[in-house]
Structure 1
């Protein structure tokens, strides 16, 4: 039942409240978040580029890392540019269509990332615990189908709830989203009709995706740790545990913040503390992922050095050709 507004009076735009209690730190926060965003883009673009061009990295692990970097680039770009614009602008509005679009892509890309993290953990489990069968189990065709399933697994299930949100009436007099983007809880709180069924649907979908992904990831790393403990070399165990610890740190941050935000029956009541926890999934983990999963890897470092060396040589060659042409033609 609609309470206090009808479809003709429904809001056509929202105001994003942003971060609370800035107290004159708007420019400083803008600078910090812009730097983090640029570093995130740089790190993930480098991974996508080097995985795509270096034949030494044409393996399942790096293929999935490339997909993870693509997801991080898209996920952060859905949220951060608009947020940065609001830091410097006096117009904090976002159109209804842009808000629903942001809602859809944030959650579908996030769901795809959870599924991909689970697949990556299974890939590492198979590589470490079943090395002889690994090439057959994770062939190129299998990797492509699995990655496609991860992308589709995020794009399709979120479509229904997004359409339901788009059809909700939002009253003009209270169209202030208490967040820096169109998140589920703050947005549903503005609806002037009951959202209980939609909240239960969101809870069920979030629980299914996040919890199943978490269980798969935890089980895979559990088997990996058991295999690492059997390594006779102390230095080998230490190196393996160092890698596992870094991965688990990122996974814990990502899953922990997502469970806190979305695996709860009521979304519309969780507004005040959401923005600070969302910073972890929007800024921290996308920044850490390239360094934890790839840029610390010796194979990736060598591939990056070769790629930059090749680019430098080509640039130098083009410059030499230009100088020679200039001398011969006098142009």
Structure 2
């Protein structure tokens, strides 16, 4: 333990806190109404993403490489919402502000892994649209089930390893108090390592790399893919053909917009935003995309709408036959 026994030239006994205190929403007026709103978003997210997964599972016409990625996105949204929202409501609505050290790190792991997978999954869908529009004749050869499963598996490995690295480095930190206050709505990585008493340089480095890996780099790849798509569509002869091809991207573009734009605005303008406003903005950007994603795909994707109608029609016919 000698590694932890010096800070600022003084001998100090460093400890892991028995618990963390999550204080993000404390002091903000009328927050009970906000928790009800979060609960509504969570229920909508659970129902919507479960419905999308069930429809893709039941309809063989949707069991294509593209919908493997859509299924994975719905699964990630479901797990991410379930990891975040019930715990946030339990902490703040029922005044359970104390969270144990191990529970806090577990909470952090699931939240960051799911957030990273949401961004990386949008990269997989961007690749699908890129190949479908630029290389339509080779789509079946380039986007296979094996390739899509391998791509998504590699993204899971990236997300899990990067988050595990961040959590592992946090376990090397020691704190001067038995309880530590985190000014956020969940166990925020940056909030935790900045409260440590010993040298937290490795955690600070990984804290700077994480946004690049799970936010900026995926967004840059998606942006680059649409630059190539726009250049390819510019060569198409008629406006109607360009519009028809670009219409297949509207659902994905909507998902990209609702996920990346609020997060990027909050991060780039964080210095000019009131801390309470920043906390609420971050909480909304964490729960809105999982709620809106299934709605967008059902409303803007022709195949899913046809599949939903087919399933309901089959159920009605089955009830009539039973009667």
TM-score range, shorter chain: 0.7 to 0.9
| Alignment map for 1:106-145 (pairs within 5 Å) | 106-145=111-150
When normalised by structure 1's length, the TM-score is: 0.83
Distance 1:317 1:153, change over 3 A: farther
Comparing 196-205 with 39-48, which one deviates more in the overlay? 196-205
- 1:281 matched to which residue of 2? 285
8 Å CA contact retained: 2:251, 2:296: yes
Name the SS for the 2:173 alignment partner.
coil
CA RMSD of aligned residues (A): 3.0
Structure 1 residues 49-58 or 247-256, which shifts more? 247-256
Whole-angstrom distance in 2 between the partners of 1:86 and 1:258:
23
Go from structure 1 to structure 2 and tell me whether the alpha carbon gap of 1:91 and 1:205 turns closer, same or farther (over 3 Å shift): closer
In structure 2, the partner of 1:199 is: 204
| Distance of 2:95 and 2:101 partners within structure 1 | 18
Instruction: Check conservation: 2:126, 2:252, Cα contact below 8 A.
Output: no
- Corresponding residue number in structure 1 for 2:24: 18
Query: Quick one: distance in 2 between partners of 1:108 and 1:218?
Result: 22
From the superposition, tell whether residues 310 and 221 of structure 1 become closer, same or farther in structure 2 (CA, over 3 Å): same
User: In the TM superposition, what is the alpha-carbon distance from 1:162 to its structure 2 partner?
Assistant: 0.6
Q: In the alignment, what sits opposite 1:300?
A: 304
Shift of residue 134, structure 1, vs aligned partner: 0.9
CA deviation vs aligned residue, 1:7-42 (integer Å, no higher than 9, x gap): 45x31111111325432x233112211111111111
2:187 to 177, 182, 185: 182
* Distance (whole Å) between structure 1 residues aligned to residue 278 and residue 102 of structure 2: 23
Of stretches 166-175 and 129-138 in structure 1, the one that deviates more from structure 2 is 166-175
How far apart are residue 210 of structure 1 and its match? 2.7
Give the secondary structure class of the aligned counterpart of 2:20: strand
| Matching residue within 7, 13, 16 for 1:6 | 13
Unmatched tracts of structure 1, length 5 or more: 265-269, 321-331
> 1:64: how far off?
0.6
Count of aligned pairs between the two proteins = 314
Equivalent-residue separation in structure 2 for 1:40 and 1:231 (angstroms) = 38
Q: Which runs of 5+ in 2 are unaligned?
A: 1-5
Distance, in Å, in 1 between the alignment partners of 2:61 and 2:183 is 47
TM-score, normalisation: structure 2: 0.85
What's the counterpart of residue 328 of structure 1? none
